[in-house]
A and B are shown apart, each in its own frame.
Chain A
Amino acid sequence: MSILTLALVNLRKDLRLEWRSRDTLNALGFFALLVVVIFSFSFDPNAEESRRIAGGIFWVSFVFAALVALNQAWARELRNQVLDAYRVSGASPAALFIGKAVGNFLFVAIIEALVSPLFVIFYNLRALGSSWLLATVFLLGTWALVINGTFFAALCARTRSREMMLPLLLLPISLPAVLAMVEATTALLTGEADPGMWIKLLAGYDIVFTTASLMLFETVLHSE
């Protein structure tokens, strides 16, 4: 089987499992909702201010929500030694990684699509910039979080107290991506600045770390 077919098989397996239990989506969605509500209590901004801070609040919410989902990303594979079975099967590790990353991307993106309307309601938002560019920023930003998150979740699965380790490793590496997402989103919401540079930075970040993850995933999977 080619890598692409194998990745699709992995992805379909993850999606089917999620469709039957809906554990991740429920937990993720509720968590994101809670963060939105808590931030609304803490800042209580007017319309003009909220445009300026909404980008930051939005992405901070989703960074934390994504961490909740990513911590569980490899849980099924760790039970019953599925990961070890995969290692001896001779199937391409890159395919497993791509399938997993795309699955996580879909979960986080679905939750973003469901929770974003709440942001618009709670913060009385109306984007002054292009909404197509806003969608691009969301896609690139979510991929930036998920690609490194999936990689580090696999890495942390091999450490003690793995749930605590993931944020400690992922957040420092993700800092430039978070800065770019927040700045681009704020620029598009306020319509005051040009987000082009930040979108390019996000795209560059995505390319660099997608390549690095694909190259190093096999090493991490086989580390003994």
Chain B
Amino acid sequence: MKLALVLFIAVTVALLGYGYYQGMHAAPTEQTMGHIQRIFYYHVPSAWTSFIFFFINFIASIWYLAKRNLKADALALASAEMGVVFCTIVLVTGPLWAKPVWGIWWTWDARLTTTLVLWLIYVSYLILRRFSDSQQTPTLAAALAIFGFLDVPIVYMSIRWWRTQHPQPVIAGGQGSGIDPEMRFALFANWAAFLAMAALITWFRYRLAIGEQQVEEEHRARALRSQLQEVR
């Protein structure tokens, strides 16, 4: 177990280094945007990673409501925090890229606004977790997670009707879209590295959450025992 973890950490670090090399040196420079475009290798993989972790949060929340399994709740918490971290990276790198290329920091476009709303929903999820009693937190948080997940497609549709500026997807987009194979390789190398790093941190956070649950459980058992002794 321990060996597997050490190996995984080594692989993650190697992947991060390799992804950096691919994105910053090996990938060709973009024609019109120049080196600025290289932020793409951080912006897009972060977005994909955060969406994956929000999805894991949704699945873990349903799993918790169905089975009342506290491990599912620990996973939901860990994945929501990881999703918020990567979503924050997207929201920071986006304006940094937009300012020199579009000439503006921010625009209320479908993808930007959806990402912002997604971030707001999951931050409110984390706040709810902090402000509820520990015994009710898993249930209340799971209910909110389901509401948040239902909201995302509606947000996306509503804002797409409203206005759109963000470029169309270059991966799995329509006809006429696509990128240089070398750029694509650098993109996926970075995505693999980010996913590995996120999985690693989530694993530690998950273990920590399980530990917190056990401490909580122990406190409750101790309080119960002392009450029993007083009765006797």
User: Hey, which bits of chain A sit against chain B, CB under 8 A?
Assistant: 148, 151, 155, 158-161, 165, 168-169, 172-173, 175-176, 179-180, 183, 197-198, 201, 204-205, 208-209, 212, 216, 219-220, 223-224
Contacts and interface: CB of A to CB of B under 8 A. Distances in A.
B159 interface: yes
A85 to B, nearest CB: 19
A158 B117 contact: no
A151 B161 CA distance: 28
B41 to A, nearest CB: 30
B146 interface: yes
**Chain A CB within 10 A, most for which of B133, B139, B144, B147:** B147
Given A159-B133, A165-B127, A216-B147, 11 more contacts: A159-B128, A159-B131, A159-B132, A169-B124, A175-B151, A176-B158, A179-B159, A183-B162, A216-B143, A216-B146, A219-B65
Contact of A172 (B124, B142, B154): B124
A220 B155 contact: no
Given A159-B131, A183-B162, A216-B143, A175 B155 contact: yes
A201 B139 contact: no
A207 to B, nearest CB: 11
Given A148-B147, A172-B117, A220 B139 contact: yes
Contact of B140 (A172, A183, A208, A220): A220
A223 B131 contact: no
A219 B159 contact: no
Contacts of A205: 154
Contacts of A161: 131
Interface residues of B, number: 30
B19 interface: no
B177 interface: no
Contacts of A212: 146-147, 150
B158 to A, nearest CB: 4
Given A155-B143, A201-B157, A209 B136 contact: no
B121 interface: yes
**Chain A CB within 10 A, most for which of B117, B136, B140, B157:** B140
A216 B64 CA distance: 13
Chain B at the A interface: SS class: helix
Contacts of A216: 143, 146-147
Given A159-B140, A168-B127, A197 B151 contact: no
Contacts of B143: 155, 216, 219-220
Interface of B: 65, 117, 120-121, 123-124, 127-128, 131-133, 135-136, 139-140, 142-144, 146-148, 150-151, 154-155, 157-159, 161-162
Contacts of A165: 127-128, 131
Contacts of B147: 148, 151, 173, 209, 212, 216
A209 B143 CA distance: 12
A158 B136 contact: yes
Nearest to A180: B158
A220 B136 CA distance: 9
Given A208-B150, A209-B150, A155 B158 contact: no
Nearest to A175: B117
Contacts of B157: 176, 201
A183 to B, nearest CB: 7
A164 to B, nearest CB: 8
B144 A169 contact: yes
A163 B155 CA distance: 26
Contacts of B136: 158-159, 223-224
B124 A219 contact: no
